[in-house]
Amino acid sequence: MATAGGPGEEDAFARYRSPLVSRYASPEMGFNFSERKKFGTWRRLWLYLAQAEKSLGLPITDEQIQEMEANLDNIDFKMAAEEEKKLRHDVMAHVHTFAHCCPKASGIIHLGATSCYVGDNTDLIVLRDGFNLLLPKLARVISRLADFAEKYANLPTLGFTHYQPAQLTTVGKRCCLWIQDLCMDLQNLERGRDDLRFRGVKGTTGTQASFLQLFEGNHEKELDRLVTAMAGFKRAYIVTGQTYSRKVDIEVLSVLASLGASIHKICTDIRLLANLKEIEEPFERDQIGSSAMPYKRNPMRSERCCSLARHLVTLVLNPLQTASVQWFERTLDDSANRRVCLAEAFLTADIILSTLQNISEGLVVYPKVIERRIRQELPFMATENIIMAMVKAGGNRQDCHEKIRVLSQQAAAVVKQEGGDNDLIARIRADPYFSPIQGHLESLLDPTSFTGRAPQQVARFLKEEVHPMLTPYQSKMGVKIELAL
């Protein structure tokens, strides 16, 4: 029923929807942070607890276990919402909802547990699964960029320091700088996932007192180990308060924030190269760059990555502050913000990785533009080579240096004051002083002689570091990304 002057409940477009889900993120990552995944995992954790307690001798029947197994995904969300409104407690609302469809097992659901048994353990499962969704995406981005780097390993391009022309590098070598950062991120994501432990079965303040009471003081009944293994974790935190340490969230979001910084740098480089007209991201045939300027080809994918990456980088501040104010065994001022920042971090990382894969699969290089820019700057860079050649031909180093200094200043004035092309080489050709090396000028100006070992570095880096790192993900390399928006 619509409220007075308000939209009907059935109108989904009349309510705020996070664009992270409605506009960008993959269905898989959206599901990972969905209520169905969350509450379905709660029920599985209650099942693991009951199975483990039964195996250790508590009076739980096969029939009760089977009833729970049969209703893991039979969730009455409307009933749960009504129960939570009445009880003001989300976990107990779902205990009652689960018990309603499991009347025989109702008395043993959540036996001995505290809310964080399902809440924190589910969060750790979701974080682990989130990493497992991100890792193949990141590996695919690295793989696509590695193919690009190999293809353009030998193509000279003007390098920049301080965004001022510097020595030459190659297009492939520059791409390897991007790849190296992403390889560090891949290692960090793997470490972040592998370092996660299960909270386990710890009780209200982490002492396991309630479970010790259930087993009549028998310390040999290792319920914690059993449930940890059932949930797919190799280890549980040995000590916890009511919650797992919120420093874990800092570690997780730090890894994702670092990935965001890498992608922001890469996509900023692509945006700058697009301005130089040297490299562009994919641009669809019917895509409009500007509503007012039909000629524009805006790097909107890279801009989206930068925009969302900035959001991702800032999210780590939340768990930093939360961990610092957790009193003693726990407070509840962590709950509401963790619902937001943990999900948003993984959803945002998911989006920017998918977008960057799409970009890396369609990067367009314009060698003629790159060559022209090199021609504009290379004469100045080649002056030392020209001096050395003149000395070898019998010239005086100081005399040659002064000749080139004067000609360079004249050529620079043409570029800066008249807007003309760099004519330093034409001036050198016209000066009789340089006649001894006139036949060698072309070879002295060959761009490939200014790129050093860049091509060899690309080949070695890809062979020794990148390809071995991608081996575990080979079965998932075939996925291609098409962006809906």
The average pLDDT across 354-367 equals 96
- Domain annotation covers residue 56: yes
Select which of 162, 219, 291, 475 is catalytic.
162
- Domain annotation covers residue 106: no
pLDDT (tens digit per residue) in 416-449? 899 988 898 899 999 999 999 988 888 888 999 8
Same structural domain, 97 and 166:
no
Predicted local distance difference test score (pLDDT) of residue 373: 93
Query: Do 481 and 351 meet the contact criterion of CB atoms below 8 Å apart?
Result: no
Select which of 22, 290, 443, 449 is catalytic.
290
Same structural domain, 53 and 176:
no
State which H helix or E strand residue 164 sits in: strand 164-170
Same structural domain, 266 and 336:
yes
Same structural domain, 77 and 120:
no
Same structural domain, 329 and 420:
no
The whole-model pTM stands at: 0.91
Predicted local distance difference test score (pLDDT) of residue 15: 86
> Is 162 considered catalytic here?
yes
What band does 116 get if pLDDT is binned at 50, 70 and 90? Answer: very high
Question: How many residues are there in the chain?
Answer: 485
Same structural domain, 55 and 129:
no
Same structural domain, 277 and 156:
yes
CATH of the domain at 55: 1.10.275.10
pLDDT (tens digit per residue) in 149-199? 999 999 999 999 999 988 999 999 999 999 999 999 999 999 999 999 999
- Domain annotation covers residue 16: no
The mean predicted confidence, pLDDT, of the chain is: 92
CATH of the domain at 131: 1.20.200.10
- Domain annotation covers residue 147: yes
Q: What's the gap between Cα 364 and its chain centre?
A: 23
Same structural domain, 80 and 204:
no
Q: Which of 444, 459, 477 is the last residue of a domain?
A: 444
- Domain annotation covers residue 259: yes
| DSSP sequence for 20-83 | IIIIIS-HHHHHHTSHHHHHHHHHHHHHHHHHHHHHTT-S--HHHHHHHHHTTT---HHHHHHH
What band does 90 get if pLDDT is binned at 50, 70 and 90? Answer: very high
> Is 290 considered catalytic here?
yes
Same structural domain, 43 and 187:
no
Tokens of 295: 């000629």
- Give the CA distances from residue 102 to residues 68, 84, 95, 97, in Å, rounded to whole numbers and listed in that order: 6, 19, 10, 9
Instruction: For 281-372, list the strands marked E by DSSP.
Output: 364-365
Predicted local distance difference test score (pLDDT) of residue 10: 65
CATH of the domain at 408: 1.10.40
The average pLDDT across 372-396 equals 90
Domain count, the chain: 3
Same structural domain, 133 and 259:
yes
- Domain annotation covers residue 108: no
- Domain annotation covers residue 438: yes
Q: Which of 101, 131, 160 is the last residue of a domain?
A: 101
- For the chain, give the longest Cα–Cα distance: 105
pLDDT(455) > 90: yes
- Domain annotation covers residue 5: no
The average pLDDT across 260-267 equals 98
Share of the chain above pLDDT 70, in %: 95
Predicted local distance difference test score (pLDDT) of residue 276: 96
Q: List the domain range (segments joined by +) for residue 249.
A: 115-283+296-365
Identify the three-state secondary structure at position 318.
helix
Distance CA(80)–CA(455), nearest Å, equals 62
Predicted local distance difference test score (pLDDT) of residue 11: 76
- Give the CA distances from residue 49 to residues 16, 18, 55, 125, in Å, rounded to whole numbers and listed in that order: 38, 35, 10, 15
Predicted local distance difference test score (pLDDT) of residue 7: 52
Same structural domain, 120 and 48:
no
The average pLDDT across 52-80 equals 97
pLDDT(481) > 90: no
The more confident residue out of 123 and 23 is 123
| DSSP sequence for 239-297 | --SSS--THHHHHHHHHHHHHHHHHHHHHHHHHHHHHHTSEE----TT--S-SS-TT--
Same structural domain, 136 and 67:
no
Q: Which of 338, 365, 392 is the last residue of a domain?
A: 365
The average pLDDT across 83-91 equals 94
What band does 349 get if pLDDT is binned at 50, 70 and 90? Answer: very high
